[in-house]
Chain A
Amino acid sequence: MNSIFEIDNLNLHYDDFQALKDINIRIEKNKVTALIGPSGCGKSTFLRCLNRMNDLIDSCKITGEIEFKEENIYTSNYDVISLRTKVGMVFQKPNPFPMSIYDNVAYGPRCQGIKDKNILDEIVATSLKSSALYEEVRDRIKESALSLSGGQQQRLCIARAIAMEPEVILMDEPTSALDPIATLRIEELMNELKKKYTIIIVTHSMHQAARISDNTAFFLMGELIEFDKTNKIFTTPKNQKTEDYITGRFG
């Protein structure tokens, strides 16, 4: 397996509560990995560990190792800004900035010091094309991003992440606020994006995980119960707890 993330003995506590217990997992490069499990199982907490988003929570204590491209991201001198550039994130609710479509996508590159208009134009166009939004917004790129539909806003957020030229895109329930058609567009987009990026997605929809992912990890009460090829998980899971969850017998 060509891993981009290697996680060993990861434990995470919020004060006395242990949210992740001894997680060991390898995330395959240029694949879609789905994280599934009932609410509170630790899947989003785990996702946020991958770009150190949990650093913002004071009560959070992490032990173990998370290696991104063979480098432990939890060493004290690791460049977190650079990590978050390489490991982008898309959230559950589309969260475009209250500015134009163009400025949303150009925001990150501008923060990185890119000022040349031609370069920014190209980054914006390429990112919007990669997120399958360009054709829909090319004539109104200077209009407010808030005028877009929910599905378009979410694709804009993906474009905003892509503009930073990440290697990994973390997605935390990216379609749960969208209608079925917008959901299918995002799912189709993920299939295209994985050619260039590694995608790790938290989803509450088992069938979304089955449709879009190559590998699936099932979390329960902070433990990684089973991690395998999605085809295997959804036809012949090894663990009875996985079977019970994906067949909807509990949760």
Chain B
Amino acid sequence: MIQNRRKFSIELENLNTKVFDMGIEVISSFKKVLIACKDSDIDLATEVKEHDIIINDIEISINVDGYLLIAKQCPVAGDLRRIITAIKISNDLERIADYSVNIAKYLIKTKYDNSVHIESISKLGEHIIKMLEGIMTAFKDEDIELALDINSMDEILDDEYDKEVKGLINISKTASNIELEEAMRALLVLKQIERAGDHITNIAENIVYLVNGKRVELN
């Protein structure tokens, strides 16, 4: 059989690569912000904040490429699913990157001792990095089984988040105003890490759709 649409196939491959590269950027952003937390490195936190514009640009570029391919190539079936999922996954990755920026902002703005909270943020943050690395591998290999394994890690994240929230509630019972303020701000950050897990779940759903066209609700 004659192979057609070589140019289109290359463009689809490039779109895929862009999504994978965006995932690497987001993982890097999350890793850096956790190092910044551990080392109280405000410069590194500032770098994470400023680097976000590049991640946003990649997302826009993936969206534009996707829209152009839809308009010009009229894709169907697997090709259409690939473009739609690239657009959707890039949106989820962009949101996850926003959460790493919010952790960086939290670090930059913190005025008081927050070492207890940093420990909690790091713990949940490390879990997110493992999930992110796994889900991007699942995306690259189009591995539904791995995507579902990563999805199940979100439950562990939710349990850990609940534990941390209960801990913060206990602290607040006897806390001074300053401690209470820090606890509240830490709670907001922890919530965002928990939300990052939900976005990874969305990516898992899109990987399933990409591979077999089935819509599943995992979250």
Residue B10, interface by CB 8 Å:
no
Residue B111, interface by CB 8 Å:
no
Interface contact A250-B77, CB-CB below 8 Å: no
Interface contact B80-A249, CB-CB below 8 Å: no
- The interface bits of chain A over 212-239 (1 if a CB of B lies within 8 angstroms of the residue's CB, else 0) are 0000000000000000000001111100
Interface contact B76-A206, CB-CB below 8 Å: yes
- Using a CB-CB cutoff of 8 Å, which residues 68-82 of chain B contact chain A? 74-81
Find the A residue at minimum CB distance from B1: A250
Residue B173, interface by CB 8 Å:
no
Q: Which residue of the partner chain, among B5, B80, B212, B213, contacts A248 with CB atoms under 8 Å?
A: B5
Q: How large is the interface on A (under 10, 10 to 19, 20 to 34, 35 or more residues)?
A: 10 to 19
Residue B4, interface by CB 8 Å:
yes
Interface contact B5-A235, CB-CB below 8 Å: no
Residue B176, interface by CB 8 Å:
no
- Chain A residues with Cβ below 8 Å from B213 are 235-236
- The interface bits of chain B over 1-34 (1 if a CB of A lies within 8 angstroms of the residue's CB, else 0) are 1111100100000000000000000000000000
A246 and B1 contact, Cβ closer than 8 Å, known pairs A235-B81, A235-B213, A236-B213: no
Interface contact A243-B78, CB-CB below 8 Å: yes
Interface contact A249-B77, CB-CB below 8 Å: no
Q: Which residue of the partner chain, among B2, B8, B74, B76, contacts A250 with CB atoms under 8 Å?
A: B2
Number of residues from B at the complex interface, CB < 8 A: 17
How many A-B residue pairs have C-beta atoms within 8 angstroms? Tell me: 42
Q: Which residue of the partner chain, among B1, B8, B77, contacts A236 with CB atoms under 8 Å?
A: B77
- Chain B residues with Cβ below 8 Å from A138 are none
Find the A residue at minimum CB distance from B213: A236
Find the A residue at minimum CB distance from B12: A247
- Closest chain-B Cβ to A207's Cβ sits at a distance in Å of 5
Find the A residue at minimum CB distance from B215: A236
- The interface bits of chain B over 45-58 (1 if a CB of A lies within 8 angstroms of the residue's CB, else 0) are 00000000000000
- Give Cα A103–Cα B52 distance, bound, in whole angstroms: 72
- Using a CB-CB cutoff of 8 Å, which residues 139-154 of chain B contact chain A? none
- Chain B residues with Cβ below 8 Å from A83 are none
- Chain B residues with Cβ below 8 Å from A236 are 77, 81, 212-214
- Closest chain-B Cβ to A54's Cβ sits at a distance in Å of 29
Find the A residue at minimum CB distance from B212: A236
- Closest chain-B Cβ to A176's Cβ sits at a distance in Å of 17
- Closest chain-A Cβ to B86's Cβ sits at a distance in Å of 16
Residue A210, interface by CB 8 Å:
yes
Residue A251, interface by CB 8 Å:
yes
- Chain A residues with Cβ below 8 Å from B2 are 250
Interface contact A235-B76, CB-CB below 8 Å: yes
- Give Cα A233–Cα B213 distance, bound, in whole angstroms: 11
The 8 closest A-B pairs by CB, nearest first: A236-B213, A250-B1, A234-B76, A248-B5, A247-B79, A243-B77, A246-B76, A248-B4
Further contacts, 16 of them, CB under 8 A, given A236-B81, A249-B5: A207-B74, A210-B76, A234-B77, A234-B80, A235-B76, A236-B77, A236-B213, A237-B77, A243-B78, A247-B77, A247-B78, A249-B1, A249-B3, A250-B2, A250-B4, A251-B4
Chain A interface (Cβ < 8 Å from any Cβ of B): 206-207, 210, 233-237, 242-244, 246-251
Chain B interface (Cβ < 8 Å from any Cβ of A): 1-5, 8, 74-81, 212-214
Q: Would you give 6 A-B contacts (Cβ < 8 Å), ordered by A?
A: A207-B74, A242-B77, A243-B77, A247-B5, A247-B76, A251-B4
